[in-house]
């Protein structure tokens, strides 16, 4: 069985977050959705649990940070092309995301990023399947 990953993120307004990520093309599993949480499907093995802040707090004794001011992690998703990277970031910006940095093109790798409505940092990248150029 392939390892699955579940990224858990606290959100201020669950409905607005669902609307935001729906505009980026994601769908949600209704079996794991209620007024406190939803399960965003990224792929067959990757899911993002969007949890209301009070519900998220029940899983930890630590303080939940304000991701607009601090960074907890960077979530990086790959795409099939540079165009797909730009399309995803454009959709995110149109849906209300902020763009913290310009795109970076390394030739064999292209990346861009956005911060979602709650300030969580998302990287979107494409990498040439051949990898970086070989050093002589």
Q: What is the pLDDT of residue 53?
A: 97
pLDDT in tens, the chain (136 residues): 789 999 999 999 999 999 999 999 999 999 999 999 999 999 999 999 999 999 999 999 999 999 999 988 999 999 999 999 999 999 999 999 999 999 999 999 999 999 999 999 999 999 988 888 777 6
Ordered by where they begin, the domains of the chain are 1-60 (3.10.180.10), 65-136 (3.10.180.10)
3-state SS track over 53-119: HHHHHCCCCCCCCCCCCCCCCEEEEECCCHHHHHHHHHHHHHCCCECCCCCEECCCEEEEEEECCCC
Whole-number pLDDT of residue 136: 63
pTM, to two decimals: 0.88
């Amino acid at each position: 069985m392939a390892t699955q990953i579940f990224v858990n993120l606290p959100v201020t307004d669950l409905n607005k977050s669902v609307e935001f990520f729906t505009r980026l093309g994601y769908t949600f599993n209704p079996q794991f959705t209620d007024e406190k949480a939803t399960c965003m499907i990224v792929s067959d093995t990757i899911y993002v649990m969007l949890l209301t802040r009070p519900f998220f707090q029940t899983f930890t004794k630590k303080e939940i940070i304000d991701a607009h001011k601090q960074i907890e992690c960077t979530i990086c998703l790959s795409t099939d092309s540079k165009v797909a990277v730009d399309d995803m970031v454009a959709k995110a910006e149109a849906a209300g995301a902020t763009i913290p940095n310009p795109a970076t093109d390394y030739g064999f790798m292209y990346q861009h990023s956005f911060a979602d409505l709650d300030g969580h940092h998302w990287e979107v990248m494409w990498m040439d399947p051949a990898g970086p150029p070989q050093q002589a």
